[in-house]
Structure 1
Amino acid sequence: MASKISPDPFCLLLISSLIITRPLLCSSTSYIVYMGDRPKSEISASSLHLNMLQEVTGSNFSSKSLLHSFKRTFNGFVVMLSEGEVEKFAAMSSVVSVFPNRKKKLHTTRSWDFMGFPQEVQRTNVESNIIVGMLDTGIWPESESFNDAGFGPPPIKWKGSCQVSSNFSCNNKIIGAKYYRSDGIFNKSDVKSPRDSNGHGTHTASTAAGGSVSMASLYGLAMGTARGGVPSARIAVYKVCWLDGCWDADILAAFDDAIADGVDIISISIGSWEPHDYFNDSIAIGAFHAIKYGILTSTSGGNEGPGLATISNISPWSLSVAASTIDRKFLTKVLLGNSKAYENVMYPLIYGGDAPNITGNFNSSYSRFCFLNSLDPALVKGKIVLCDALLSGREPFFAGAAGAVMQDGGAKDVAKSFPLPVSYLGTREGRHIRSYMNSTSNYL
């Protein structure tokens, strides 16, 4: 039989590298004790969990060790434990699994038209009763995507609430909002409310259920109408991600609430660095209990593709959504002095390898890649720099260049933005440009 215990990788690392520090840093770690369905007895879940904790810890018992109890739709709790205590909990017949409170990470305007969901479609009143639960970084309620004009009061089935604060309130579009932090430890940059200070949660919420916003664009590019898949649906926000990531304990607490609150579907664009066993994975556990209540969980495929075995959310009772191709590109032609165009003001062209910052102790083997500080500002100022690598664009920008042409052999399915005009070419086109530059002394 497989072990119920999933080890804490941080403690294992400390043990293997510096045993003397282990008792200080790993004597008590946050774990999740998962127990399956809600208890059917009259005893409250919190009392049951405290009794179990007292049985395991004995004279070392402290109620403060119990950080959170899951009790609305499934059974379990978050608790500070030593390794020996973890083993005792795992030996209990009522416990399904014990695993560390791990950190997870966060994983466009025309997508719905491309998929065949047209803007001009007859909306029914039923759609306005759909509640989408978003587990993410929160939401920016002032965004036009969440304007509640034309919305009536929340559906009668809604049992959730809104954690109102000085900088946040709900409306008839965003009908509920909560935030979670089981350890109570916030970074000074964290916003202690459901408000989104990252942008990821606002992006995912608007993609799923944002209202129609005309004249939307990326700095003037691809102007059109931005909207979600179900623009008339309501949104319930569960903020589980902070500056340091998204913790399992908070994800499970949000699932517990979202299911009990009455959402119809749960969307979570969060995942691990690698897949875990179902009973040791907070998203798989939460999605399992959601589907038992008839609630589908839509999970993200992740950002690690497009190679094999790069999806982290793999439970069979959830819908793992991967990225697809899109039907548009933002094209820029590269026009050379010999009239060759590689999709009109002309700028002098210079190869990064010919402009090393000698005074900064850089040579052409560095400057050809346009690494930060490797370019000579006197040589590249006002020119377009050809770089042998795809970088952020700030490197030639800081050196005073007018723009850059970057060549790279990698996949081009991820949109990028740069602080100055940049064209991103394949290595074949890059070789053509180098050949042209070698053929003339006055290249543009």
Structure 2
Amino acid sequence: MGDRSRNIETTTSASAVHISLLQKVTGRSLAAESLVHSYSKSFSGFAAKLTKAETEKLSGHEGVVSVFPSQLRQLHTTRSWDFIGFPQTVARATVESDVIIGMLDTGIWPESQSFNASGYGPPPQKWKGTCQSSSNFTCNNKIIGARFYHAGSPRDTEGHGTHTASTAAGNIVTHASLLGLAAGTARGGVPSARIAVYKICWTLGCSDVDILAAFDDAISDGVDIISLSVGGAPTDYFQDAIAIGAFHSMKNSILTSNSAGNSGPAAGTVSNVSPWSLSVAASTIDRKFATGVKLGNGRTYVGGSINTYEASRMYGLIYGGDALNRTSGSDSRSCGAGSLDRNLVQGKIVHCDDVSGGQEPLAAGATGAIMTTSYTEDDAYPLLLPVSILTDAEGATIVEYINSTSDPTAEIFTTRDFVDNSSAYVIYFSSRGPNPITRDILKPDLTAPGVDILAAWSQATTVTGLPGDNRVVPYNIISGTSMSCPHASAAAAYVKSFHPTWSPAAIKSALMTTAHPLSVPDLPDAEFGYGSGEIHPSRAVDPGLVYDAGEIDYVQMLCGQGYNITQLRLVTGDQSSCSSAATNRTAVWDLNYPSFALS
């Protein structure tokens, strides 16, 4: 991506320039059809459908800075703010309502009480964006802008974008809960801030083509913070659309907050690792969920999951391995698709040796399921039918019970929530360092609550989003670094409201140097799990010391990492070059960064 040309003032004229270039590659008749997006507001570039030969031909044209393939990326899916010492009564800047958070996600459900515009004045004067309204979508003085990049409207049909937006900047809503669970007051970290929505994700994922278009628009529209709970496999910055988009937002004084990924606890799995963006891991809060199981012999267990269905009575209990659908040719022990014999399972609770969404037990007519896992699953989530998730060891004792009696029975109770006073820690699924791209820079940068988070939900989907689920709710509980990212985005917006002239690096530094360390189960190198620690927004307003950096500093770091001129300009989009002093590894160490790692 290149810098925005002063000679291209509109998207229309940019498209004409890009089509003209494509005509030299594809021919006059196919050029317009092959163009997908023109980026011209904040940086210059375009996306097009090209063959391999056409791509190679385009790369050789004068003025073409870079050509790289579009990838498909994935979403990284009440008490949390109080838990990290950021209560509703914390001191707030009078200009908080002038702060705009750009949410790049699955869209938003504008009718949610979390986005009610009562009491809001008009958008800040700096706002230059628009609302791509339609017959089923309108903006207001809370959701001040909305765009979409594929089809339909900015309306959220997945739930993810509504959840993240309300976590970051949702209104204060009392009596929020998921069907009675986690009842309390739901609110965003900066409840007076404005929201700009950029719908980049659909059911199958989030395309780089749309991600870059959203960055281009968000920068031009005038957002203050970009929140992006999306990622993929870590790759070099010059091939990473998110890193490139975040670099351009940094050049325009906008911090990009990213989810660190859900591929833990293995080492080296962290994604979104560019030093100019904020990479956020996921940690627990003090709310837990317990779903009890009682066997016919009186033995009881307490497992995970969120079961909103009312317990009624004991049901027959069968092991999935004893209920094989012999026509399927599959292993029924894990209750995989098509594996269970309906004649044996119907009306019973089935025991499964693995965790799933419950599709197969439900399809086979089961009234519930007991599932087991080798992980300590400290996150809870709803499933399609009554389910309790136990450990493999507990599951083995249940199989012993089934084999010991001619009439095994069990009951699964409705989930109860409770306060757990143990210290917060990084959850097992949160991606860990070391940084696979720049090993001398510690990633993730910090952690934030990302486990069992209650927030607003789309009414166009259900609790699980799976076929067979009819539960439509205004608030839902989900987990992931997707949930921790908007916590950090809100914290950054909070700092920005007190220090509107601070650079992205300064805001990031303030959050990192005021965070506090946590524990990380199953990983001795704790900092690779939580970075600088868990965010503490109220402390970050007055950090004392700030590690600042700008475009020149990051350019020198990339030079020190061994980037040649071509690779460097793929990231910066301008005529950046390396000085002789920055062509060795020490330039990475010289970056004024709040943390470092020894590679």
TM-score normalised per structure 2 = 0.61
Secondary structure of the residue aligned to 2:288 is: coil
Secondary structure of the residue aligned to 1:39 is: coil
2:180 matches 1:220: yes
Q: CA deviation at 1:261?
A: 0.9
Within the candidate set 337, 345, 352, 2:319 is matched to 352
1:345-368 C-alpha deviation (Å, 9 max, x unpaired):
65155232574357x5479x9444
Distance change (3 Å), C-alpha of 1:429 and 1:99: same
Structure 2 CA distance, aligned partners of 1:62 and 1:205?
A: 38
Distance change (3 Å), C-alpha of 1:348 and 1:284: same
2:277 matches 1:318: yes
Distance change (3 Å), C-alpha of 1:56 and 1:366: closer
The answer for the alignment partner of 2:258 in structure 1 is 299
Within the candidate set 412, 416, 425, 2:377 is matched to 412
Distance change (3 Å), C-alpha of 1:93 and 1:312: farther
Within the candidate set 72, 87, 94, 2:41 is matched to 72
Distance change (3 Å), C-alpha of 1:263 and 1:352: same
1:28-79 C-alpha deviation (Å, 9 max, x unpaired):
xxxxxx3x21235578655654554455567778455444322211121223
Structure 1 CA distance, aligned partners of 2:348 and 2:176?
A: 32
Question: Contact between 1:355 and 1:376, CA under 8 Å: does it hold in 2?
Answer: no
The answer for the alignment partner of 1:204 in structure 2 is 164
The answer for the alignment partner of 2:4 in structure 1 is 38
Distance change (3 Å), C-alpha of 1:406 and 1:160: same
Q: Which moved more, 1:160-169 or 1:242-251?
A: 242-251
Q: CA deviation at 1:317?
A: 0.9
Question: Contact between 2:319 and 2:333, CA under 8 Å: does it hold in 1?
Answer: yes
Structure 2 CA distance, aligned partners of 1:414 and 1:134?
A: 25
Gaps of 5+ in 2: 303-310, 410-599
The answer for the alignment partner of 2:241 in structure 1 is 282
Structure 2 CA distance, aligned partners of 1:354 and 1:287?
A: 50
Q: CA deviation at 1:297?
A: 0.5
The answer for the alignment partner of 2:493 in structure 1 is none
The answer for the alignment partner of 1:424 in structure 2 is 389
Question: Contact between 1:351 and 1:387, CA under 8 Å: does it hold in 2?
Answer: no
Structure 1 CA distance, aligned partners of 2:261 and 2:205?
A: 15
Question: Contact between 1:96 and 1:279, CA under 8 Å: does it hold in 2?
Answer: no
* 2:398 aligned partner, one-letter code: I
Q: CA deviation at 1:230?
A: 1.2
Structure 2 CA distance, aligned partners of 1:222 and 1:379?
A: 36
2:93 matches 1:120: no
The answer for the alignment partner of 2:357 in structure 1 is 392
1:371-422 C-alpha deviation (Å, 9 max, x unpaired):
4554455554444332222232243334443322222213514433223221
Secondary structure of the residue aligned to 2:43 is: coil
* 1:401 aligned partner, one-letter code: A
Question: Contact between 2:376 and 2:391, CA under 8 Å: does it hold in 1?
Answer: no
Question: Contact between 2:335 and 2:354, CA under 8 Å: does it hold in 1?
Answer: yes
Gaps of 5+ in 1: 1-33, 187-191
Distance change (3 Å), C-alpha of 1:42 and 1:146: closer
The structure that has the greater radius of gyration is: 1
Q: Which moved more, 1:348-357 or 1:398-407?
A: 348-357
2:204 matches 1:235: no
Q: CA deviation at 1:216?
A: 1.7
The answer for the alignment partner of 2:428 in structure 1 is none
Aligned residues: 398
Q: Which moved more, 1:142-151 or 1:194-203?
A: 194-203
Question: Contact between 1:367 and 1:375, CA under 8 Å: does it hold in 2?
Answer: yes
Question: Contact between 1:356 and 1:366, CA under 8 Å: does it hold in 2?
Answer: no
* 2:383 aligned partner, one-letter code: F
Distance change (3 Å), C-alpha of 1:406 and 1:92: same
Question: Contact between 1:349 and 1:386, CA under 8 Å: does it hold in 2?
Answer: no
Question: Contact between 1:352 and 1:369, CA under 8 Å: does it hold in 2?
Answer: no
1:323-345 C-alpha deviation (Å, 9 max, x unpaired):
22232221122233444321286
Secondary structure of the residue aligned to 2:67 is: strand
1:11-43 C-alpha deviation (Å, 9 max, x unpaired):
xxxxxxxxxxxxxxxxxxxxxxx3x21235578
TM-score normalised per structure 1 = 0.80
Question: Contact between 2:289 and 2:380, CA under 8 Å: does it hold in 1?
Answer: no
Structure 2 CA distance, aligned partners of 1:374 and 1:318?
A: 45
Question: Contact between 1:136 and 1:240, CA under 8 Å: does it hold in 2?
Answer: yes
2:132 matches 1:163: yes
The answer for the alignment partner of 1:105 in structure 2 is 74
Distance change (3 Å), C-alpha of 1:396 and 1:247: closer
Distance change (3 Å), C-alpha of 1:385 and 1:128: same
Secondary structure of the residue aligned to 2:289 is: coil
Question: Contact between 2:258 and 2:277, CA under 8 Å: does it hold in 1?
Answer: yes
Question: Contact between 1:355 and 1:380, CA under 8 Å: does it hold in 2?
Answer: no
Question: Contact between 1:39 and 1:45, CA under 8 Å: does it hold in 2?
Answer: no
* 1:397 aligned partner, one-letter code: L
Secondary structure of the residue aligned to 2:287 is: coil
Q: Which moved more, 1:59-68 or 1:385-394?
A: 59-68
Question: Contact between 2:169 and 2:191, CA under 8 Å: does it hold in 1?
Answer: yes
| RMSD, aligned CA | 2.9
The answer for the alignment partner of 2:569 in structure 1 is none
Question: Contact between 1:174 and 1:236, CA under 8 Å: does it hold in 2?
Answer: yes
Distance change (3 Å), C-alpha of 1:65 and 1:398: closer
Question: Contact between 1:175 and 1:235, CA under 8 Å: does it hold in 2?
Answer: yes
Structure 1 CA distance, aligned partners of 2:117 and 2:288?
A: 33
Distance change (3 Å), C-alpha of 1:215 and 1:57: same
Structure 2 CA distance, aligned partners of 1:286 and 1:354?
A: 50
Secondary structure of the residue aligned to 1:100 is: coil
2:312 matches 1:331: no
* 2:149 aligned partner, one-letter code: Y
2:360 matches 1:401: no
Structure 1 CA distance, aligned partners of 2:312 and 2:19?
A: 72
Q: CA deviation at 1:147?
A: 0.5
Structure 2 CA distance, aligned partners of 1:132 and 1:406?
A: 40
* 1:158 aligned partner, one-letter code: W
The answer for the alignment partner of 2:467 in structure 1 is none
Q: CA deviation at 1:290?
A: 0.3
Q: CA deviation at 1:122?
A: 4.0
Secondary structure of the residue aligned to 1:68 is: strand
Question: Contact between 1:347 and 1:382, CA under 8 Å: does it hold in 2?
Answer: no
Structure 1 CA distance, aligned partners of 2:321 and 2:202?
A: 44
Secondary structure of the residue aligned to 2:220 is: helix
